[in-house]
Chain A
């Protein structure tokens, strides 16, 4: 299978600190891949490099065979590379419906249109509403996002990404901060993602990782330690050492 998202020789230096160290990723189309690593291993930096929020010091990012290293974030989103944030990045004053409609409208390139009102774009709104319905958020569609409970906000965070019809979806710790009782919805949504969407999941929650991932990449100090199916990873002594070592520290 051809790789849909690749990095070649990706480096990120901040002054004297090397946060991303020669990362060579090759994620296949339709993959369910997880990226794990201790705090500070460079996971979020890697996501930022993949999405264009950061420019690498060296190396290339390739999407579907096209070198996108120089492209700004919004261009990559147009190509289908979408991410969610570890800490919810939502619009506190907007309602979920407005926020989702914004995402849908942006996908259709409609946000340059200043002459027609948003309300007249009924197809956009209905698509947004349908998505909220699928996520179980329709009943709070008109409330202020800032007033919603955290678990629902997290669902909206993912909903915004889904509204963009991603072909490659980068999820940065989707379970972070979600209380036990509210995580079921989240997991169900992730499980229902169609095979046409390639998913890279960055997570700490090993439960979620082993339930969801078909392939795991382990990141240590900015470099890839090992990659492979879950069984291989959990049996790998080096991985155990890194995590056991962490347990001794913390």
Chain B
């Protein structure tokens, strides 16, 4: 027997059931398949609204990247737009300077944001929740000011002009109807989602959950907490950057609002609205918000801002699990009513 070991070395087949159970938890649910078929159907059913749904995909990816650090690692960020905006500008400037290949633009955007994420992660990890709020907010404001002042690079308040994205794979042009943009966004969202889903269900993901649920216990378990948090913060930054680059490429434009506090707050709202810690919440929340924005587009900005504020407050008091939380509660109620276990 190994020193200190209470367990026999041989793998015991009696515990196959436990392994199978955990495997079951991580498996794809039928609802998930339905979820991913929907975008395909939308392409054919609502061809006039593809631009709108591209926005949903992009916002959804941005929100998922925030959910990763917020819902899984418990890091509250008031400045996630810093990565979104940096990715957006990186891709935009690259294209403006003559290299408009979309995929490399995405990679460049993600990389730029990832570098910033890695560099600032050390600041974010020091100190308490309060300093975290301060740092994340400060960095995004800093970047905003930079972009504002460096007009020669970013176009300042007018936005970046002359962004031309080459056809995808040399074949598919980014047309006015947004067909290419839509398919492109959905595919990028899906692939990113696959990667993030893998991360969440991995031992690394479990360690993140541990950090979120009891940060004090984790070092006593032997986990180098800081290293894990740096990693997840960087990953979150990368995907936010990809989302930003995606926005630039599909709209062929980028301006200061991608770096604003409003953008960070919007992402936060979307994540919580959809349901934090669920990954799908990001897309669900984005869908809800963007559709609402579209339907209520006649409202003045003040009305919109006011009701956004009320939405935040209402969510806190009435629906902290967001839409998906409400949905799962409804499902539980329905199950009880119909007598299913």
Residue positions of A touching B, CB distance < 8 A = 51-53, 72-74, 77-78, 80, 82-83, 85, 89-94, 97-99, 101-103, 105-107, 110-131, 133-134, 141-142, 160, 162, 164-167, 192-194, 196-197
4 A-B pairs with the lowest CB-CB distances in the bound complex, closest first: A77-B222, A129-B15, A73-B219, A119-B23
On chain B, the residues within 8 Å of A77 by CB distance are: 219-222
Pick the contact of B222: A107, A114, A117, A141 (CB < 8 A). Answer: A107
Determine if B173 is an interface residue (Cβ-Cβ < 8 Å).
no
On chain A, the residues within 8 Å of B223 by CB distance are: 74, 106, 111
Pick the contact of A101: B8, B12, B206 (CB < 8 A). Answer: B206
Type the 1/0 row for B180-198, where 1 means its CB is closer than 8 Å to any CB of A. 0000000000000000001
Task: Indicate if the CB atoms of A72 and B217 lie closer than 8 Å.
Answer: no
Pick the contact of B228: A72, A111, A133 (CB < 8 A). Answer: A111
Interface set, chain B 204-222, CB cutoff 8 A to A = 204-207, 209-210, 213-214, 216-217, 219-222
Pick the contact of A194: B1, B8, B18, B206 (CB < 8 A). Answer: B1
Provide 16 A-B residue pairs closer than 8 Å at the C-beta atoms, listed in order of the A residue. A73-B220, A74-B219, A74-B224, A74-B225, A97-B21, A102-B206, A105-B203, A111-B204, A118-B202, A119-B19, A124-B203, A127-B7, A131-B7, A160-B217, A167-B4, A194-B4
Bound-complex Cα distance A117 to B16 (A): 16
**Nearest A residue to B199 by beta-carbon distance?**
A114
Task: Give, as a whole number of angstroms, the nearest-CB distance from B194 to chain A.
Answer: 12
Determine if B171 is an interface residue (Cβ-Cβ < 8 Å).
no
**Nearest B residue to A121 by beta-carbon distance?**
B203
Task: Give, as a whole number of angstroms, the nearest-CB distance from B324 to chain A.
Answer: 16
Type the 1/0 row for B228-246, where 1 means its CB is closer than 8 Å to any CB of A. 1001000000000000000
Bound-complex Cα distance A74 to B179 (A): 51
Other A-B contacts than A74-B222, A110-B203, 17 sampled, CB-CB below 8 A, are A52-B219, A77-B220, A90-B217, A91-B213, A97-B18, A99-B210, A103-B222, A111-B203, A117-B201, A119-B23, A119-B25, A121-B203, A134-B6, A164-B221, A165-B2, A165-B3, A194-B5
Task: Indicate if the CB atoms of B7 and A164 lie closer than 8 Å.
Answer: no
Bound-complex Cα distance A117 to B207 (A): 12
User: A115-B198, A118-B201 in contact; A78/B222 too (CB < 8 A)?
Assistant: yes
On chain B, the residues within 8 Å of A72 by CB distance are: 219, 224
Bound-complex Cα distance A74 to B204 (A): 16
**Nearest B residue to A83 by beta-carbon distance?**
B220
Task: Indicate if the CB atoms of B203 and A196 lie closer than 8 Å.
Answer: no
Task: Indicate if the CB atoms of A105 and B205 lie closer than 8 Å.
Answer: no
Task: Give, as a whole number of angstroms, the nearest-CB distance from B203 to chain A.
Answer: 4
Pick the contact of A130: B12, B26, B216 (CB < 8 A). Answer: B12
User: A78-B222, A111-B207, A125-B15 in contact; A116/B7 too (CB < 8 A)?
Assistant: no
On chain B, the residues within 8 Å of A121 by CB distance are: 203
On chain B, the residues within 8 Å of A193 by CB distance are: 6
On chain A, the residues within 8 Å of B221 by CB distance are: 74, 77, 102-103, 106, 160, 164
Task: Indicate if the CB atoms of B8 and A119 lie closer than 8 Å.
Answer: no
Task: Indicate if the CB atoms of A162 and B6 lie closer than 8 Å.
Answer: yes
On chain B, the residues within 8 Å of A125 by CB distance are: 15, 18-19, 22
On chain B, the residues within 8 Å of A118 by CB distance are: 22, 26, 201-203, 205-206
Task: Indicate if the CB atoms of A114 and B4 lie closer than 8 Å.
Answer: no
Task: Indicate if the CB atoms of A126 and B11 lie closer than 8 Å.
Answer: yes
**Nearest B residue to A141 by beta-carbon distance?**
B18
On chain A, the residues within 8 Å of B207 by CB distance are: 102, 105-106, 111
Task: Give, as a whole number of angstroms, the nearest-CB distance from A96 to chain B.
Answer: 10
Type the 1/0 row for B275-309, where 1 means its CB is closer than 8 Å to any CB of A. 00000000000000000000000000000000000
On chain A, the residues within 8 Å of B23 by CB distance are: 119-120
Task: Give, as a whole number of angstroms, the nearest-CB distance from B234 to chain A.
Answer: 12
On chain A, the residues within 8 Å of B227 by CB distance are: 112
Pick the contact of B202: A85, A92, A115, A123 (CB < 8 A). Answer: A115
